[in-house]
Chains A and B, each alone.
Chain A
Amino acid sequence: MKGKAPEDILLSLQEGLIEIGNRFERDECFTPELMYGAEIVRTSIEPLKPLLKGVSVATKGKVVVGTVYGDIHNIGKDLVKLLLEGDGFEVVDLGENVDPAKFVEAVKSDGAKLVGLSALLTMSFGAISNAVKAINDAGLKDKVKIMVGGAPVTELVREKSGADFYGKDAFSAVKYAREVYGY
Chain B
Amino acid sequence: MKKIGKRRCNISSGREKVLSCLDFGKGSRSVKAEFAFWYETLDRWYGEGLPKGKGLPEYAVGHNIRSNFNTNMPGEGIIDSDVHKYFSFDFNSFSIPNNFSPMYEKVTIEENDEFIIFKDDYGITQKRLKDEQGGIRSSMPMYLDFPVKTRRDFALYKERFDPDFSKRVKKGWIESTDDYREKGFLIWLCGRSNGFFWFLRELMGLENFLMTIHDDPGLINEMLDFILDYTISFWEYILDNTRVDVVLINEDMAFKGGPLLSPDSFKEFLRPRYKKLTGFLKGHGIKNIFIDSDGDMTGLIPLLMESGVNGLLPAEITGNMDMVKIAKDYPDLRIAGGINKMKLFDNKNEIDKELEKVPFLLKRGGYVPFVDHSVPPLISWKNFVYYRNTLNKMVDSIIKS
Contacts and interface: CB of A to CB of B under 8 A. Distances in A.
B257 A168 contact: yes
Interface stretch (B28-36, B56-64, B210-218, B281-289): B210-218
Interface string B183-211: 00000000000000000000000110011
Contacts of B214: 32-33, 36
Contact of B210 (A31, A70, A169): A31
Contacts of B40: 123
A73 B262 contact: no
A27 B115 CA distance: 39
B256 interface: yes
Contacts of B299: 27
A24 B53 CA distance: 50
Given A121-B140, A123-B40, A152-B342, A30 B129 contact: no
A154 interface: yes
A33 B256 contact: no
B207 A75 contact: yes
B134 interface: no
A30 B261 contact: yes
A30 B259 contact: yes
Given A32-B210, A32-B211, A72-B129, A122 B261 contact: no
A165 interface: no
Nearest to B127: A72
Contacts of B141: 72
B265 interface: yes
A113 B343 CA distance: 33
Contacts of A151: 255-256, 294-295, 318
A7 to B, nearest CB: 28
B119 interface: no
A151 B258 CA distance: 11
Contacts of B142: 72-74, 96
A35 B260 CA distance: 11
Given A32-B210, A78-B207, A168 B256 contact: yes
A75 B262 contact: no
A120 to B, nearest CB: 7
Nearest to B137: A70
Contacts of B341: 122
B265 to A, nearest CB: 7
Nearest to A120: B140
Q: Which residue among B139, B260, B341, B342 has the maximum number of chain A CB atoms within 10 Å of its CB?
A: B139
Contacts of A168: 256-257
Contacts of B295: 151
Nearest to A67: B142
A169 B261 CA distance: 15
A122 B140 contact: no
A176 interface: no
Interface in A6-58: 27, 29-33, 35-36, 39
Given A72-B141, A73-B142, A74-B142, A35 B376 contact: no
B258 A121 contact: no
A114 to B, nearest CB: 21
Query: Is chain A's binding surface mostly helix, strand, loop or mixed?
Result: loop
A35 B207 contact: yes
A120 B256 CA distance: 11
A129 interface: no
A123 B207 contact: no
A122 B262 contact: no
B55 interface: no
A150 to B, nearest CB: 9
A71 to B, nearest CB: 8
Interface in A67-117: 70, 72-75, 78-79, 96-97
A121 B139 contact: yes
A123 B376 contact: yes
A72 B130 CA distance: 11
A79 B376 CA distance: 26
B261 A31 contact: yes
Interface string A137-171: 00000000000000110101000000000001100
Contacts of B103: none
Nearest to B259: A30
B326 interface: no
Interface in B298-333: 299, 318
B261 A32 contact: yes
Nearest to A122: B376
Contacts of A29: 262
B142 to A, nearest CB: 4
Nearest to A82: B207
Interface of B: 38, 40, 115, 127-129, 139-142, 206-207, 210-211, 213-214, 255-262, 265, 294-295, 299, 318, 341-342, 376-378
26 contacts: A30-B259, A30-B261, A31-B259, A31-B260, A32-B210, A32-B211, A32-B214, A35-B207, A35-B211, A39-B211, A70-B129, A72-B115, A72-B127, A72-B128, A73-B142, A79-B207, A96-B142, A97-B129, A122-B341, A122-B376, A122-B378, A123-B38, A123-B139, A123-B376, A152-B342, A168-B257
Given A32-B261, A72-B129, 5 more contacts: A31-B210, A31-B261, A121-B140, A125-B378, A169-B255
